[in-house]
């Protein structure tokens, strides 16, 4: 589901705050991942943490799958992302990202969606919106693929063709 107009809620406040800082977030295809995104330590739903810098530094590609538990399109894409996570496990980390501060996202719905949708890859909770801002995410779902050199090579609301085979 694409968010065409943002009129209320935490995302509108977040995007307004981001724009007001004058920061130039990275995230368009062909850009480099920002230093903030690279060094961010983001908590996962299971209690672990994830740092893109570790995966990229190990020569792995990172596919960030931004989703929300209320999003029908996200649910439809989840099997493709799970399949890609298994298929490309040797070279790529597929990582889910649910954006939104504590209280704005129902944590029980996130865990329920992970189970019900059969999500097999780790899911991060981007509560401070570091990754969301860095990759200019304003839609759910959004897939951003970052190569080991930090370059953004894919950015779309739909899975890459390779994930649909």
Could you say which DSSP state residue 19 is in?
H
pLDDT of 125 > 50? The answer is: yes
Q: Cα angle at 17 between 13 and 18, to 5 degrees? A: 120
User: Which residue segments constitute the domains of the chain, with CATH numbers given?
Assistant: 9-164 (3.40.30.10)
Please tell me whether residue 52 adopts helix, strand or coil conformation: helix
Tally of residues, the chain: 165
For the chain, what is the mean pLDDT?
82
Q: SS3 sequence, 60-127?
A: CEEEEEECCCCCHHHHHHHHHHHHHHHHCCCCEEEEEEEECCECCECHHHHHHHHHHCCCCCCEEEEC
pLDDT at 37: 81
Query: What is the Cα–Cα distance from 101 to 94, expressed in whole angstroms?
Result: 22
pLDDT in tens, 18-74: 332 233 334 456 677 777 788 888 999 999 999 888 888 899 999 999 999 999 999
pLDDT in tens, 62-120: 999 999 999 999 999 999 999 999 999 999 999 999 999 888 899 999 999 999 999 99
Query: What is the Cα–Cα distance from 49 to 38, expressed in whole angstroms?
Result: 14
- The pTM score is 0.80
**Is residue 154 within 8 Å of residue 147, measured between CB atoms?**
no
Q: Cα angle at 143 between 141 and 148, to 5 degrees? A: 160
Q: Cα angle at 97 between 118 and 153, to 5 degrees? A: 105
pLDDT at 24: 33
Residues 6+ apart with CB under 8 A from 39: 51, 53
């Amino acid at each position: 589901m694409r968010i065409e107009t943002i009129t209320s809620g935490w995302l509108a406040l977040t995007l307004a705050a981001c724009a007001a800082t004058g920061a130039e977030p990275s995230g368009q295809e062909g850009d480099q991942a920002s230093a903030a995104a690279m060094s961010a330590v983001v908590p996962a739903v299971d209690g672990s943490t994830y740092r893109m810098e570790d995966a990229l530094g190990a020569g792995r590609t990172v596919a960030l799958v931004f989703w929300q538990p209320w999003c029908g399109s996200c649910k439809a894409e989840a099997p493709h992302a799970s399949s890609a996570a298994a298929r490309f496990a040797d070279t790529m980390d597929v990582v889910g990202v649910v954006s939104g501060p504590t209280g704005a996202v129902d944590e029980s719905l996130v865990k329920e969606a992970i189970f019900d949708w059969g999500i097999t890859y780790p899911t991060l909770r981007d509560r401070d919106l570091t990754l969301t801002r860095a990759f200019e995410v304003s839609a759910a779902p959004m897939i951003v693929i970052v190569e080991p050199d930090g370059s953004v090579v894919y950015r779309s609301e739909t899975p890459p063709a390779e994930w649909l085979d």
